[in-house]
Structure 1
Amino acid sequence: MGLDSTTHRTPDSPIGDIAYLARSEHRIPALVALTERPRSRSELCELTNVSSSTIRRTLNEFEDRLWIRKDGYQYAATRLGEAIATEMDDLIDRFETERKLRDVWHWLPDDISEFPIETWSELTVTIANPNVPYRPVTRFESLLEKTATLRFVRPEVALMDPCFDVLYQQVDDGVDVTLIDRPNCHTYFLSTYPERSSELLQQDNFTVLEHDELPLHGTGLLDERVVISCYEQDSGTVQAVIDTDVLAVREWAQSVYERYRSDARPIEPQHLQSDDLGNDI
């Protein structure tokens, strides 16, 4: 391959090369940048925000490994360098996906873990934290405002402020809504919002159904997105909202909805009686 006349240092091991790239945050971006087009040392300094001496040492290491070649005052990636840059860039993307799912993994339905890893990267994960506890609710509110249909198994997130206000307005505007939840949850929200709940239940485009054995997570189907809502088991607070437009996830969510829809029943009359609303919470 014409490399015999080039003196280069043999790496100690593949792990050694990976460790070298990972030890400083500028190295992988520098190598990726050189796969895009030739660049000068000063360009790389500006791009990676490191000193000229640091870039010089980095380029020397890259040259020793035959990842780059010098062309005048510029440097460009070799095919070897392109291969390494692509794999490392993909690896970083995979770790970024894993990190955003790490905190919600124990709340997710088992079926999600069976999807290809490439599907995970298409999930938008919004997690509550002490500084912004309502971030997942706000995310769902923004999605709810854009849909003309809503079908939701265990829809507590849709019934929380400020989402309930949006839901109320959406139903008034003709959005077709079907909610499947537990009887005690219906009792709570009917007692919390008696007037609005009564008005909603009189709308032909608003359907409320009951089911006694729902999963720990919520599954919602909107026009363009699928939503998975993760609840803290004891308090019922919304810990995370995950949404995506991946077709495979939508097909899964559709099957979940249809399964529970087939066994659900209309809301029981006693839940509609205002005298009893406060007794079953």
Structure 2
Amino acid sequence: MESTLEEVEFLVRSPNRVNVLRLLAEDHQTRNDLAAETNASQATLGRILTDFQERSWVRQLGAEYVATGTGRLVASGISDLLQIIETERELRGIVEYLPTHAMDFDLRHLADATIVTPSQTRPDAPVSRVVDLIEVGSDVTVFSHAFNHQSLAAVHERVTAGEQTFRGVFSEDAVEALADDATLTGYLVDLLDADDAALRVRTEDIPIAVTTVDDVVHVILRDDNGVLQASLDTDDDAVRSWARDTFDHYWRTADSFKRVDLD
């Protein structure tokens, strides 16, 4: 194990080594090619290439160099590790609020996610983010354990104007919580009457609040007390596939939403 860690340390303590190995794993390169891509000096490149050849990570073909099979293996592994660490750093501040038990995809697909957190001047910034998406989207699907006043108002406005289609699956607890909110109840009544909207209610719990607007998946993150902590959204294909499949499952296992549910 110690010698393996020494090899990892040898590679990652130098960005130039990582970049050179990555480039050689992609294609043949001359030293001039490598210098242009990395801005490393010829002396530095000479040392790197010699070290790589001693490890059989790289072989020379005339004036060109290329990664060997094991060199490509190391390059792939280091790229994966760097992506994992980059993603972890992005998610570090919100990881305790991520409902990972309900997120059936590799978290690396969140590497490029937009993360929004509340601030003193914008305490509702995560909700405002999804409202902004809804206000320009043409197709919206939701599965959630709660209704949000702002996002439901935005959906109501777009759907009743004939500018959006909407399907939503909500937990029974979310519906029961509407009893004393005449405004939200009114929005739902209008959506039940709209041709381009459909709602269902699910007896079993829905442990996550997800809104998909066209190609963007938005997730609201709350702590154990229900306090808004952050949101994230992404158009990553794997996350969109997960959101679509999860919505379909909740939709199939839910009942039609009727006006009597609001009484």
Same fold (TM over 0.5): yes
Q: How far is 1:85 from its partner?
A: 1.3
Q: TM-score, normalised by structure 2?
A: 0.70
1:56 equivalent in alignment to 2:46: yes
In structure 2, the residue matched to 1:80 is 70
In structure 1, the residue matched to 2:108 is 121
**98 and 263 in structure 1: CA distance in 2 versus 1, 3 angstrom threshold:** farther
In structure 1, the residue matched to 2:255 is 262
1:108 equivalent in alignment to 2:98: yes
Range with bigger deviation, 78-87 or 229-238: 229-238
Range with bigger deviation, 33-42 or 236-245: 236-245
**31 and 249 in structure 1: CA distance in 2 versus 1, 3 angstrom threshold:** same
**203 and 170 in structure 1: CA distance in 2 versus 1, 3 angstrom threshold:** closer
Range with bigger deviation, 225-234 or 49-58: 225-234
In structure 1, the residue matched to 2:245 is 251
8 Å Cα contact 1:45/1:51 also seen in 2: yes
In structure 1, the residue matched to 2:33 is 43
> Cα deviation per residue 1:132-187 (whole Å; 9 max; x = unaligned)?
87367436743674443524323546x436x8436521342151333523444575
In structure 2, the residue matched to 1:21 is 11
**Partner residue of 2:208 out of 203, 217, 223:** 217
List aligned pairs for 1:152-167, cutoff 5 A.
152-154=143-145, 156=147, 159-160=149-150, 164-165=153-154, 167=156
Range with bigger deviation, 88-97 or 13-22: 88-97
Q: How far is 1:19 from its partner?
A: 0.8
Q: Percent identity?
A: 20
Q: TM-score, normalised by structure 1?
A: 0.66
**167 and 104 in structure 1: CA distance in 2 versus 1, 3 angstrom threshold:** farther
Q: Distance in 1 between matches of 2:160 and 2:147?
A: 17
Unpaired stretches in structure 1, ≥5 consecutive residues: 1-11, 270-281
8 Å Cα contact 1:219/1:226 also seen in 2: yes
Equivalent residue pairs, number: 250
8 Å Cα contact 1:68/1:81 also seen in 2: yes
Q: Distance in 1 between matches of 2:165 and 2:54?
A: 63
Q: Distance in 1 between matches of 2:167 and 2:11?
A: 51
Q: Distance in 2 between matches of 1:28 and 1:136?
A: 40
> RMSD in angstroms over aligned alpha carbons?
4.0
Q: How far is 1:238 from its partner?
A: 5.7
Unpaired stretches in structure 2, ≥5 consecutive residues: none
Q: How far is 1:61 from its partner?
A: 1.5
* One-letter identity of the residue aligned with 2:228: T
